[in-house]
Amino acid sequence: MRILSGIQPSGKLHLGNYFGMMKPALALQAEGEVYLFIANYHALTTVTDPALLRRQTLDVALDFLACGLDPARTVFFRQSEIPEVTELSWLLSTVTPMGLLERCHSYKDKTARGIPATHALFAYPVLMAADILAYQSNVVPVGRDQKQHVEVTRDIATKFNNQFGPIFTIPTPSIRDDVAVVPGIDGQKMSKSYDNHIELFGTEKETRARVMRIVTDSTPLEAPKNPDACNVFALYRLLATPTQAGALADRYRAGGMGYGEAKKALFSVLWETLAPYRQRRQELEQDLAGVEAVLAQGAERARGAARKTLSAARLAMGLD
């Protein structure tokens, strides 16, 4: 089974990225052949500073390797190193109805947030389809907000196969119910767009300050509190052991503990849990040539698969 996943280098990764995408993606290494790419072509729709894009792409690579990505079990690469994907996206665009793209909610959502209405943003689902189909992916883990794009990929692949022959594997979206929805410091879903995130590898001072800004209600210190309705506890439960989470929940319900103390407990478990990853990331920072070698090896393997698919598609369409 071939599993494909990707992430945009659109900024520093945060706890929402870790629990929502990174941790589940790393767990997939035990379930099948994983292709994981850094979607820097897609990032061009929002990141226009070349130096920033390069730095953020490297940051994503460092973060994933620090958190446990195994290059022996995962094909890890930059999207921009696979030119076959962009050619394939053009071939796929010849069978993609305009109406299919016009129904995609992501374009409407992003333009409503002020992102320029470019052709790249509009055609984003076609490039995403090429990303998926180039490697004959069987399964694509996605959030519910991305499920539509996988359905669009299925529609495009089916239309192409019906017209030119069985070239593409029809992928299946995988939406895991056990993937956490991570609250930001304001209680909304954690997102860089809302500036409510806690960076995965922020400095100690920055991280502590963010944690202490988490919004809570006005329940007095001495009164019992509901841990299940508290943003602080929601984050603590993701990081702590079941025993630790149970003990803090009991203190909430007993009363006599303020939210400030709960935030200190959250910072402590957050800083301690991520300590080995921080150490590993610092080591990787001192061996950027090694990181580049991992990405180059991944790109070579990915291109091998993409070339076969592109060659078959070109032949079917009369280009070879």
pLDDT for the residue 178: 60
- First vs last Cα of the chain: how many Å apart? 29
CA 109 from chain centre, in angstroms, equals: 18
Mean pLDDT score across all residues of the chain: 94
Residues 55-86: tens digit of each pLDDT: 999 999 999 999 999 999 999 999 999 999 99
CATH of domain 2-180+288-317: 3.40.50.620
The pTM of the full predicted model, rounded to 2 decimals, is 0.92
Residues 21-32: tens digit of each pLDDT: 899 889 889 888
Q: Which residues in the chain are classed under CATH 1.10.240.10?
A: 202-273
Q: Which residues in the chain are classed under CATH 3.40.50.620?
A: 2-180+288-317
Tell me whether residue 110 is one of the annotated catalytic residues. Answer: yes
pLDDT for the residue 201: 96
Distance CA 320, CA 316 (A): 8
Architecture field, domain 202-273? Orthogonal Bundle (1.10)
Tell me whether residue 189 is one of the annotated catalytic residues. Answer: yes
Q: 12, 23, 147, 192: which is the annotated catalytic residue?
A: 192
Q: Which residues contact 254 (CB under 8 A, 6 or more apart)?
A: 224
Q: 23, 189, 264, 308: which is the annotated catalytic residue?
A: 189
Alpha helix positions (H), the chain: 15-17, 23-27, 40-43, 50-66, 83-93, 98-102, 105-112, 119-122, 124-133, 147-164, 204-212, 231-239, 242-254, 259-273, 275-285, 288-317
Q: 110, 205, 225, 308: which is the annotated catalytic residue?
A: 110
pLDDT for the residue 177: 61
Distances (CA, A) of 142 to 137, 154, 181, 265: 13, 14, 13, 32
Res. 111 pLDDT band, cuts 50 70 90: confident
Residues 219-241: tens digit of each pLDDT: 999 999 999 999 999 999 999 99
Distances (CA, A) of 102 to 51, 105, 120, 124: 33, 8, 13, 11
Res. 179 pLDDT band, cuts 50 70 90: low
**Burial 29-54, CB ≥16 within 10 A → b, else e:** beeebbbbbbbbbbbbbbbeeeeebe
Tell me whether residue 192 is one of the annotated catalytic residues. Answer: yes
Distance CA 127, CA 149 (A): 10
Element (H, E) at 39: none
Least confident of 56-60, 140-144, 162-166, 273-277: 140-144
The answer, yes or no, to whether residue 145 has pLDDT greater than 80, is no
